[in-house]
Structure 1
């Protein structure tokens, strides 16, 4: 085979780089991005392209022969609002390209259109979906209709607040502080006015939406697939985002304490509704989150059903004495396993389903319990915070384990591909992987 002209090589590398940027910016793991970019270059005739993925930088290079000058392209990845519609569209584009249903130039044009297009969903609908998420979490935690209304209002207001702050280009940390503070001050106001509502439920329902479930998923996936630098960066981002919530809630608790308002958990509170409430709450929360992340409409109902099953399993296990971390991990394995087959039938990447389905199980209650106890100088709160970390890790690792199990079974008679880089949540399953330096 003759060497590829330099202009064609550059166009192929640029296409792979732009696809990788879209995937990474929308939450795909480094392994998936690397495999997808390598598949594109290999399909386009560049057999030895080198792909390097870090949290904020993509690099791709190719040298046609020992006497030819290497061509290297690099692109900074700016984090933006998660858009599962774009992620799904890029996933379909890559599949069409690798199946020769579209040409390289057509694929490049489609990528540019996706990168420059806005969201088709109206902004007010996204705000309403945040309110739905808040109401779903409140239902999951056993709140009455007043709590559901207040949590829905808080969710919508927090979304508007964070969107307005984003226009000032403030670091995301301050948006998290503002969100946690707003949720807690709302609970303080309710307690002062003697509204018959449990303030702790309002805070917990509100901060679940702020927890970085997507980032933690990506971090664990990157760590398990060997991309340690990117995993460390994602974990640091998640920690900063979570600390922002903690700072905001702590300020709110301090304000409540100065006013003589106790926002702590009710004695003996289990933290969960009855089984029907848990199932409905998980389904509503997951569906609302998926809608707010612009997931395709066709997948919203399957997401709600899978999340309901996961919530039922979690409730059953904890009701029988299984610890929250273990119960979360088992439920996440089932979610990951089921999501693989459903994603294929729904024509979306598995990432869209698994992230949405674990949102209801994020440890918002453990975080709030820990903060409440620590604010009262009760150092048992440290145990609650450790439990929250354990639950988050169990959720991410469990989902990925479920994908590990489901993907080989899904191929049935096919031989397990030796070059598969762990569980694939985005991009082609049968991918050619090449050298990368993120170790």
Structure 2
């Protein structure tokens, strides 16, 4: 009789429920369906449940187990009702899963800890999150070459958008209308600024807020699901992303059309190669925007500085590659590849899921600039329509390049890290000086793992 057959129906039901609740939180935070499925199966296996079947279709999750061939299967369902980026809960659940796999906690303790995670609040007040979104848009404004006035206005606009969307969310307005309202409010604030004697470019404010609205869209999860064979979930996530982006376009284009109707000139942005000082400001703004986004998404404080550093290096790579004339999509793809490569290692050092590092680090490279240029050209009409369509296609290709680059970097980084660990174990002797190997739980091992032949000789 197998271990799973010895479990009672109550224990099996509780195990399935725990796995589903963990999978729900991971899926709602933007994790790929393949990662969620593997995590749920690993949790069930660690609790003694073998041969479980998992089915994920974006809004619903099911998990089943048949104790024996002549017994009916036990099936449980769970619906993903709310999708919100919450990296604090994601990190705590990741630690809980690791503790389960190490057998440090049992089923009862895991259920209690998961209940505490989902029901407890956060370590920062909600007004601080609003300020974090403001700092993010201020960093994007600085990245685009804006002066202090642009940074402050972008900060104020982002805070206003966050409060507006928070109020709409509490009234259960769909995400599409929240995006329309956010894009429209950003444009209206830019128009009001343009009507004042202040000599600044309102388009920088609009572009910074577009990046903020794009930050919560799950492009990465959609592409990862498509690459790993979860086509139904990928299609649903892609539809959600397109609908949210359409909301931004509707809100911003409505504001731009209003500007032309009242006679306010909205200038276009034409990004050039930039000077050395301009590149320095872009790197600084990128680091600030990435760290602020991580803070606003409740990422652990210990991860903010490393995320800022990774994002700054990625922006430097993107600009240095783009300087010789390589296309925008390829430059951001190479930068995203770097983020994917180092994000796996950095996340392991910080004890956070890699999703926290990679998503935050690439947020400053989201194609808000291309979307804004495309909208302004389309609003002009005439001969500018083709150029506007080209800019919108460029925005789509940049978003796809970011997602593909990050995922490819993760694919390459994981086996490379495993092989490096094996090579270190083979070559290293007893450590008297130098770094020690670290286990997943954070404890250190002073001696390298012995080979199978050595262990056989010792036992003999």
Distance apart, 1:410 and its partner CA: 0.7
The C-alpha deviation readout for 1:342-373, integer Å capped at 9, x for no partner, is: 00000000000000011000000000000000
After superposition, what is the alpha-carbon deviation per residue over 1:262-311, rounded to whole angstroms, capped at 9, x for unaligned?
A: 21315x54286711111101100000000000000000000000000000
Contact 2:85 2:216 in 1 (8 A): no
- Separation in 2 of the partners of 1:136 and 1:166? 25
Paired residues in the alignment total 416
- Runs of 4+ aligned structure 1 residues displaced above 2 Å come to 268-273
Report SS of the residue matched to 1:81: coil
**Counterpart among 251, 264, 268 of residue 267 in structure 2:** 264
Q: Please, what TM-score do these two structures have when normalized by structure 2?
A: 0.88
Question: CA, structure 1 residues 119+80, in 2 after alignment: closer, same or farther (shift >3 Å)?
Answer: farther
Match of 1:210 among 210, 213, 220: 213
Does 2:229 match 1:226? yes
User: In the TM superposition, what whole-angstrom CA distance separates every residue of 1:36-60 from its partner, at most 9, and x where no partner exists?
Assistant: 0011112222211000112111100
Task: Give the match's secondary structure for 1:209.
Answer: helix
Q: Distance in 2 between matches of 1:116 and 1:308?
A: 35
Q: Which moved more, 1:339-348 or 1:203-212?
A: 203-212
Change (3 A) 1:413 1:182: closer
* Larger Rg computed on CA atoms: 2
Give the equivalent residue in structure 2 for 1:276: 280
Tell me if 1:360 matches 2:364.
yes
Q: SS at 1:75's partner residue?
A: strand
Q: Is the 8 A contact 2:164 2:182 kept in 1?
A: yes
Change beyond 3 A, Cα 1:397–1:215: same
Matched residue, 1:53? 56
Q: Which has the higher contact order (CA 8 A, sep 6+)?
A: 1
Question: Which residue number in structure 1 is paired with residue 458 of structure 2?
Answer: none
Q: SS of the residue aligned with 1:412? A: helix
Which of 387, 391, 398 does residue 391 from structure 1 map onto? 398
In the TM superposition, residue 190 of structure 1 has moved relative to its aligned partner by 1.3
Q: Is the 8 A contact 1:142 1:271 kept in 2?
A: no
Q: Which moved more, 1:6-15 or 1:283-292?
A: 6-15
Q: Is the 8 A contact 1:332 1:398 kept in 2?
A: yes
Alignment correspondent of 2:350: 346
CA offset digits 1:204-240 (Å, max 9, x no partner): 0111100145500110111111111000111101111
Runs of at least 5 residues in structure 1 that lack an aligned partner in the other structure: 416-426, 429-439
Paired residues for 1:224-373 under 5 Å: 224-266=227-269, 268-270=270-272, 274-373=278-377
Q: Is 1:58–1:75's contact at 8 Å kept on the other side of the alignment?
A: yes
Query: How far 1:120 moved relative to its partner?
Result: 2.5
Greater mean alpha carbon deviation, residues 344-353 or residues 313-322: 313-322
Per-residue deviation, 1:188: 1.0
Deviates further, 323-332 or 19-28 = 19-28
Please report the RMSD computed on the Cα atoms of aligned residues, expressed in angstroms: 1.6
Q: Contact 1:140–1:281 (CA<8 Å) still a contact in 2?
A: yes
CA contact (8 A) 2:217 2:244 kept: no
SS of the counterpart of 1:211?
Answer: helix
1:78 and 2:81 matched: yes
Retained in 1: the 8 A contact 2:142–2:281? yes
Q: Check whether the contact 1:141–1:272 (CA below 8 A) recurs between aligned residues.
A: no
> Superposition pairs for residues 396-435 of structure 1, below 5 Å?
396-412=403-419
Distance 1:162 1:272 in 2: 35
Question: Which of 92, 111, 116 is matched with 1:89 structurally?
Answer: 92
Equivalence for 1:22: 25
